[in-house]
Every structure is written in structure tokens, then in C-alpha cells.
Amino acid sequence: MDRKVLRNLSYGVYVVTSKDKDRNIGCIANSIMQVTSNPSVIAVSINHDNYTNKVIKETNKFGVSILKEKSNAKIIGTFGFKSSKDIDKFNDIDFKEILEIPVLENTCGYMVCKVIDTMETETHTVFLSKVIEADDYSNENPMTYKYYHEYLKGNAPKNAPTYEEQSIMSSDEDSKTKKWKCSICGYVYEGDELPDDFVCPICGVGKENFELVTEE
Ligand code: FE
């Protein structure tokens, strides 16, 4: 079975948000699809290990913010590679509250959803959800997972449905340029040396968190 074929499916890059008592929480999701049009129902897949999964099960309500290509990549670093258990992800992020759910500014727009059913897989919960409020902010290109992978050179967090081991993701790349990989988010920098003041464009850590990628 050649699982690489799954990489031809299209995915976006979304921030799924909710509220744990008075605390705003959220994570990145790339597996979201519209299931029906009227009423508007979507399916969202969230890993069991994500704190957001637990909170959505308690509140039955969440937001989806659709990132655009020009959205600040640090949003992905914060929401995709850190846990709401440890930090306030909304510190430094522009957002507003809609129906008591935080949604992000500087995106293509948002949906606020109410869970109508769930389905469990071994690793993820699929939340079948009705869209109860929404707004369309811009006509800019939404960020796709392919764009994130190819242009921002980012990887899927370990909890993403599309996560693959690094050897699979990079098997089609054959280059003699040195590669340095961020140990936090997987961003790959190409060049002989990392500049001293280098900061990961996705998760914001310094060069000390980068490791030289050695080819197998
Ligand atoms: Fe990083």
C-alpha cells in the first residue's frame, strides 16, 4: 500500500477554538469538510490527545477560523505546536468573541459551530457540527496544507490526521544543500549555517532549537 497517495487529498489550515470555563483555548486542524449545505454542517477531526478535544466534548460548541496564505505563520506555531494546558494561546493574537467563542482576526473568516454528533476513531474524534454563525472577512487565498508544506516548509504536528514520519515527507527531495530542522515545529531551513539571530518563522524559537538533518 502506497500511503503517499493520501497526500493528494486537499486540506486547509484552520484554527479550532473553544472556551474552557473562562479560558480561551484552541488548536490547529487541517481535516475539516463541509458535509451538507442547508443546513450547513461540517465535520472536524481532532486528536484525542488535544486539550481542545476534551473542551469541545464538554461545551459542544467551537469556532473555526480559516487561515489565509498571508496569515502570520506564528499562529500555526502557537496553535499547532503548543498546548492550551500550558500557555494562553490568545496572548498576542487578534481575536474577538462570537456567541462566547473566540475567533481569530486576520483570517479568511470564521464559523461558530454546535456539535450534533461525534464519531470516534482510534486516534481522533470526528465532530459533526452545525454552523450557527459565520462571517467572510476577505477574498484572499485560504491557506492550504500543500501551501503550508511547500512554501512555509512546515510539517504536520504529531497529532494531525495527516502526520507522517519525516522520512516519508522528504523522500522525494534530493538536494545537497544542508538542511536544519526546527525541533519544535519541523520547519526546515536550507543553507550551510543558520544566522546567529535566526528565529523560526513558524514557532518563533531561536537557532539553538535547530538540528542538522542527516540524510539516511
Ligand atoms: Fe519552529
Confidence category of residue 215, pLDDT binned at 50, 70, 90: low
Distance CA 128, CA 207 (A): 41
Q: Is 54:97 a contact under the CB 8 Å cutoff?
A: no
Q: Is 182:200 a contact under the CB 8 Å cutoff?
A: yes
Q: At CA 154, angle to CA 149 and CA 156, rounded to 5?
A: 90
Least confident of 34-38, 45-49, 165-169: 165-169
Distance CA 130, CA 61 (A): 10
Query: Cell numbers 468573541 correspond to what residue?
Result: 97
Residue type at 187 in one-letter notation? Y
Question: Which pLDDT does position 168 carry in this prediction?
Answer: 37
Q: Which of 40, 38, 43 is nearest to 14 (CA)?
A: 43
Q: Please, where are the H alpha helices in 60-153?
A: 74-81, 145-150
CA of 77 to the centre of ligand 1 (A): 7
pLDDT at 165 over 90: no
Q: Which residue has the higher pLDDT, 123 or 84?
A: 123
Q: At CA 168, angle to CA 164 and CA 172, rounded to 5?
A: 140
Q: Please, where are the H alpha helices in 74-161?
A: 74-81, 145-150
Determine what percent of the chain is predicted with pLDDT higher than 90: 55
CA of 141 to the centre of ligand 1 (A): 23
CA of 98 to the centre of ligand 1 (A): 30
CA of 124 to the centre of ligand 1 (A): 24
CA of 133 to the centre of ligand 1 (A): 33
Q: CB neighbours of 178 closer than 8 A, spacing ≥ 6?
A: 190, 191, 192, 193, 212, 213
134-163: pLDDT as tens digits? 999 988 999 998 888 787 777 777 777 777
CA of 178 to the centre of ligand 1 (A): 17
58-73: pLDDT as tens digits? 999 999 999 999 888 8
Least confident of 16-30, 158-172, 192-206: 158-172
CA of 208 to the centre of ligand 1 (A): 11
CA of 154 to the centre of ligand 1 (A): 8
CA of 181 to the centre of ligand 1 (A): 8
Q: Is 12:66 a contact under the CB 8 Å cutoff?
A: yes
Range among 25-29, 76-80, 197-201 rated most confident: 25-29
Average pLDDT over residues 104-131: 97
What is the Cα 152 distance to its own chain's centre? 13
CA of 155 to the centre of ligand 1 (A): 10
Q: Which of 48, 62, 45 is nearest to 113 (CA)?
A: 62
Q: Which of 88, 98, 78 is nearest to 15 (CA)?
A: 78
Ion ligand 1 — residues with CB under 5 Å? 182, 184-185, 187, 200, 202-203
CA of 147 to the centre of ligand 1 (A): 17
Least confident of 38-42, 83-87, 114-118: 83-87
Please tell me what DSSP assigns to residue 160. Answer: S
CA of 206 to the centre of ligand 1 (A): 8
CA of 201 to the centre of ligand 1 (A): 7
